[in-house]
Every structure is written in C-alpha cells, then in structure tokens.
Amino acid sequence: MSTAARRRTELDQSYLTHYATPESTGSAGFSIAYDVLRSKAEAFSLDWSGYDEGHFASLGSNIARCSPVVIPDLMRGLMWRGRHQSKVFQVFMQLCLHQFCRLASLEEPVQHLFNLPDLVAHVGGALFSFEGLKPLMHPGSDYIEFDDPLVTWMHFNGPVVWLAVMIVRSATNLADVFDFIVQCGHLGRCSKEEVDRLLDACLKEKLPNPEACKDPTMANYKDGVNGSPFFGMFLPSGAGASLASPDDLFTSTYHAFYSRLTKIEEAYDALFDVPEHDRLSIRFQQDKKKDARELTPYPIPPNP
C-alpha cells in the first residue's frame, strides 16, 4: 500500500466569511462556479422522497433555473461541506493505512437514512462525540454567514454515517478504531466516557459486517460517488469491481476524492477572487512548506 498521497491541511472556518460577495454576477468566476454547481446538480439525481434538506439543496439541484445571486451562498455551503468530508475521508484513509479498516468497504453504495442497523447507529453516535463532527448536527447557517438567510440546511450527518458504515463494514475491533481516532486527532477532542458508553452497547456485535447499509438500488450511481439525500456529498462508495484493478488502490482512491474537492475549491477561489497565496487547492498549496506533508501512517505511541 503506497503512502505517497499528500495529506491536506484543512481551511480555518473563517475562510468562508473572509471574502465579500462579488458585486457583479457577470464575471468569469461566476461562470466557473456555475459550472461546478451544475455538475453537482447533475449528480444529485436520486429520488429521496420524504426527505427535504431545505433551500440549500433545492436551490443547488435547480441551479439552471435559479438567479445567479444565489451562487456565492451555494459555493460557501459546498466549501463547508467539502471541508468536513475531507476530515472524515482522511480519518478513514488513516484507518486503512494502519489496517484497522479496509478499502473494500467502498465496494457497495451506502444507504444513509432509512433503517440504519443498530451497530451503525451506535458507531455514528460515538463519532458525533468528537468536537470536529458536532457542527454536522446543526443547520449550516449556524456556522456560515449567508447573504440569504433562507439558504440553509437542517443538518449534514451524511459524512458521519458514511464513516460509521466504512468502520462497521471492515473493522474487527471498535475499541482499537476509536483509540486510534482519538490519537490521530483529525476530529478534535471527545468525551472518552461518552465514547465508551456508546461502544459498550455494540462491542458484542459481529464485526465486520460487509453488508451494512448496502443498497442495490444505487448500484448505477455515476462515478462511484455516494448517492445521498445531501446536495454536495461526494465521499466515495459503490466502486465495485474497479477496486480490484488499480495497481495502487490507496493513491488512486485518494486522488479521485481530492480531484472532486479541488474543483470546488478552485471555483470558490475564482468566484471570490482569492489571492493566490491564500488559495486552498492542491495546485496552490504545493509550494507552501508547512502544507507539504505526506499522508503517512500516524504513529501509534508504544504501550507504557
């Protein structure tokens, strides 16, 4: 397994409110952002009857019929969602590097909302005890200053469900998994007592369970990216037979995810005319020594 994939440094939350809304909707930046939003709308094609995420999803999925004035708010929301998906993705990839989980978890698409197995629900509850994931339990407007107060969502728990499913599908020891997540620090601090209490309810469950949250109705979802009720959700799943073909599966999985996120970041930078020295995409981060780190296994301290 290669460890040559670059580890990203995530943006500070203030980045999303630092740059003012452009005065003109006719700039090249608006055109670039529109193309990215349209591609997300085209991917957001499944019928999730009975679930309504709010104006953020409805505007984004109907971008072709919306006024361009909503584009800055939609890009702020996509950036916020991309940031949290990146944190969750890095945790999963680190778990795979340390052989706590397996990339084979990605083979089947993930069903996010309905009839979650108890074990997935318990693992998701334990993950939500980490400070870095708690914002996903609340409306986007609690964290982002939108121009239009209606552009919000109820919550964005899709990444947490995704990570819980990846863990349940391939982990053999939940206590070891959560000990590692605490040590690596990607998700911030947590209440160990709460994690232990939540895990006590499921440590006797059979692991792994490769069938967890499997949904064959999403088998044809394009590009091996999650079908979900959340607009702008692009964590990988449903890769199927393609997992067996690349020579370097770890690196190809890593770069496939960040190629999607980079498109969002570059559109955001163009729309808000972000100076090059502040830009987030990998192309502009490569010359920053402080960000030029490799995604190598996080060292586990020896037992005392």
Taking the C-alpha atoms of residue 38 and residue 42, their distance in angstroms, rounded to an integer, is: 6
> Which range has the worst mean pLDDT, 5-9, 204-208, 230-234, 274-278?
5-9
Whole-number average pLDDT of the chain: 81
E strand or H helix at 293: strand 293-294
Taking the C-alpha atoms of residue 128 and residue 106, their distance in angstroms, rounded to an integer, is: 21
* pLDDT exceeds cutoff 80 at 28: yes
E strand or H helix at 6: strand 6-7
Q: Residue 150 — very low, low, confident or very high, per pLDDT cuts 50/70/90?
A: confident
* pLDDT exceeds cutoff 60 at 108: yes
Percent pLDDT > 90 in the chain is 41
Cα angle 211, 212, 218; round to 5: 80
Taking the C-alpha atoms of residue 90 and residue 95, their distance in angstroms, rounded to an integer, is: 9
Taking the C-alpha atoms of residue 90 and residue 84, their distance in angstroms, rounded to an integer, is: 10
| Among 99, 125, 94, 116, CA closest to 211 | 116
| Among 42, 25, 35, 16, CA closest to 221 | 42
* pLDDT exceeds cutoff 90 at 110: no
- In the prediction, which pLDDT does 297 show? 54
- In the prediction, which pLDDT does 252 show? 85
How confident is the model over 47-98, as pLDDT tens digits?
Answer: 655 577 888 988 998 998 899 999 999 999 999 999 899 999 999 999 999 9
The overall pTM is greater than 0.75: yes
* pLDDT exceeds cutoff 70 at 223: no
Q: Are 207 and 177 in contact (CB under 8 A)?
A: no
* pLDDT greater at residue 126 or residue 294: 126
Identity (one letter) of the amino acid at 253? T
Helices (H), 66-137: 71-97, 118-127
- In the prediction, which pLDDT does 249 show? 82
pLDDT, mean of residues 223-235:
71
Token pair belonging to 227: 């079908």
Around Cβ 247, how many Cβ atoms within 10 Å?
A: 7
- In the prediction, which pLDDT does 19 show? 82
- In the prediction, which pLDDT does 276 show? 81
